[in-house]
Amino acid sequence: MSRLRIAQLANFVGPTSGGMRTAIEHLGQGYADAGAERIVITPGERDSVTETAAGTVIRLKAPKVGGGYRLITDPWKVIELLERFRPTTVEISDKSTLLPVARWARRNDVGAVLFSHERLDAMLSLRMGRQLGVAAGVGALYKLLSRTYDAVVVTSRFAAAEFDEVTTPLVRIPLGVDLDTFHPSLATPADDGVLKLVHAGRLSREKSPHLAVATAAELHRRGVPMRMDVYGSGPHLDELVAIAGAAPITFHGYVDGRRTLAKHLAEADIALSVCPGETFGLAVLEALAAGTPVVTADIGGARELVDASCGRWAPANPSALADAALALADLPGRRPAARRRAELYDWQTCTNRMLTLHTRLAQHRLAA
């Protein structure tokens, strides 16, 4: 068959949509390097088209829908672009608004991949602060998704659990991490008797920064010599400052530059990445790649990324997570073990598996 023509579509994108943005960029570069034609379509402040070495980047003017995020509300504009590009497959990182695009793909013999970057039931529960009424609505949506897409890519066992594996064409493909940018050689924690904690991520409820800050505050309450650096921006900064109280926790805001962030991660003794609803945990891998061991919640995709050599996990409450941090701080060989763990997840392996999936779906559609 002729070479792949892959369209990557992402919706609900904000200025700090780090994990999804990073995955799309690395996969897109890998597709282009493999000889595929590629476009990426995302929401933006205004319409724009940018030609890059990794393909065409198209931003469609889209309204803000809260927290700095933007959402394409007119999927027909996306379809018009796709009809001109004529993709062999589409890769969609959206579970609702772009459903008409997936239906268009099915009608036009174009392979359709849903890239499930989040668990809706977990995300909605964290945002709403309750689980009641979430499961029924999400379950109905997933029945629709399973009938619409040719394949659903999940990044962890936790992410897969929200789907009915009997009726949904699931493919589990873990993401990768930039092992060159995030490296232990960038810094070494100071040996001054102070436990240095770090948290990197969007300061929004669905990412559980409140739990990370409360864990650090609990360690301070116990009299543990510590300090914590928080990197990221978001709508709940005031709440987090209040939770921190008198604890030595510094909020640095958004870090512009992956290398700078990598250095900050490498400077810490322990990274707190404790969101119980995380489907994968790219921030966990970035910390591990920098040689920094990680404390996670005992549920969620992030838990699958650490083992006993480089991490600890506990129920999602400040007291239990503080205990886990203290146990991890005493673990011998934790920093080289963290790096070895991260080396199990590289972008080339992830890209190769995604390319295999795109090729299979394109060939199947042509043969149908």
Q: What is the pLDDT of residues 327-344, one digit of tens each?
A: 999 999 999 999 999 999
State the pLDDT at residue 366. 61
Answer yes or no: do 158 and 212 share one domain: no
CATH number at residue 126: 3.40.50.2000
Answer yes or no: do 355 and 303 share one domain: no
Supply the mean pLDDT for the chain: 90
pLDDT confidence bin for 309, thresholds 50/70/90: very high
Answer yes or no: do 127 and 248 share one domain: no
Q: Rounded to two decimals, what is the model's pTM?
A: 0.90
| Alpha helices by DSSP H, 61-178 | 75-85, 99-107, 120-128, 134-148, 157-160
Answer yes or no: do 59 and 157 share one domain: yes
Answer yes or no: do 240 and 354 share one domain: no
Quickly count: other Cβ atoms within 10 Å of residue 191's Cβ: 7
pLDDT confidence bin for 206, thresholds 50/70/90: confident
Answer yes or no: do 145 and 278 share one domain: no
Give the separation between CA 326 and CA 9, rounded to whole angstroms: 42
Give the separation between CA 361 and CA 367, rounded to whole angstroms: 10
* Segment 143-147 mean pLDDT: 75
The token pair that represents 189 in the structure block: 């924690």
pLDDT at 49 over 60: yes
Answer yes or no: do 112 and 189 share one domain: no
Number of domains in the chain: 2
Model confidence pLDDT, tens digit, residues 258-279: 999 999 999 999 999 999 988 8
pLDDT confidence bin for 94, thresholds 50/70/90: confident
Answer yes or no: do 327 and 363 share one domain: no
Answer yes or no: do 207 and 117 share one domain: no
State the pLDDT at residue 271. 98
**Strands across the sheet containing 89-93:** 48-52, 55-61, 37-44, 5-10, 89-93, 111-115, 151-154, 170-172
Q: What whole-number percentage of the chain has pLDDT above 90?
A: 74
**Bigger pLDDT: 179 vs 133:** 179
Residue entry with tokens 């900064």? 237
Answer yes or no: do 350 and 333 share one domain: no
pLDDT at 244 over 50: yes
pLDDT confidence bin for 1, thresholds 50/70/90: very low
Answer yes or no: do 95 and 111 share one domain: yes
* Segment 302-318 mean pLDDT: 97
Q: What whole-number percentage of the chain has pLDDT above 70?
A: 89
Torsion angle, alpha carbons of 101, 106, 109, 110, to 10: 40
Answer yes or no: do 170 and 191 share one domain: no
Q: What single DSSP character describes residue 60?
A: E
pLDDT confidence bin for 134, thresholds 50/70/90: very low
State the pLDDT at residue 331. 97
pLDDT at 303 over 50: yes
By residue range, what is the domain housing residue 84? 5-176+346-367
Burial class (CB in 10 A: 0-12, 13-18, 19+), 254: middle
State the pLDDT at residue 75. 93
State the pLDDT at residue 16. 45
State the pLDDT at residue 138. 60
Q: What angle do CA 24, 32, 301 make, to 5 degrees?
A: 30
